[in-house]
Amino acid sequence: MVAENRPLLNRSNKFDRCHMEHPIYHITQFEIVAPYTIRIKFDDNTDQTINFEPVLYGEIYSPLRDLTVFNQVRLDPEVRTLVWPNDADFDPADLHDWPDISKEFIEHAQKWETV
């Protein structure tokens, strides 16, 4: 499911939904390490620690501002990404490459609040 306010990123045009051209990564483990912050381990033996608070805007992600809801995150066994009870999720490739894409992702996400 692709919600209208959720970008699907790729490396040539990060917010172009028509072209999904990036490596496929799977999340193997995660741990909540602080409010809105999750340490994520990937199948290529890398990890990222991500503070999600700056992207929790819009119809899909704003409910996660409630820490009770945010802390209900789980690892989907089929698609191997983080999912929440309201069906919010993130592309594992985006999470894997967070240091490279976070600035643009955050800027885009914060516009969702005004939509």
pLDDT digits (tens, 9 = 90+) for 66-101: 999 999 999 999 999 999 999 999 999 999 999 999
User: What percent of the chain has pLDDT above 90?
Assistant: 72
Q: Which of 8, 33, 34, 3 is nearest to 19 (CA)?
A: 8
Task: Work out the pLDDT band at 114, boundaries 50, 70, 90.
Answer: low
Q: What is the pLDDT of residue 112?
A: 80
- Answer whether 105's CB lies under 8 Å from 112's CB: no
**C-alpha to C-alpha distance for 14 and 58, rounded to whole angstroms:** 19
pTM of the entire predicted model: 0.78
Q: Which of 77, 96, 98 is nearest to 24 (CA)?
A: 96
At which residue do the structure tokens 């790729």 appear? 10
CB contact set of 101 (below 8 Å; sequence gap of 6+): 9, 14, 94
**Residue range 7-49, pLDDT digits in tens:** 444 444 444 444 556 689 999 999 999 999 999 999 999 999 9
Which domains are delineated in the chain?
Answer: 27-114 (3.30.2020)
Alpha carbons within 13 angstroms on the beta-carbon side of residue 91 total 23
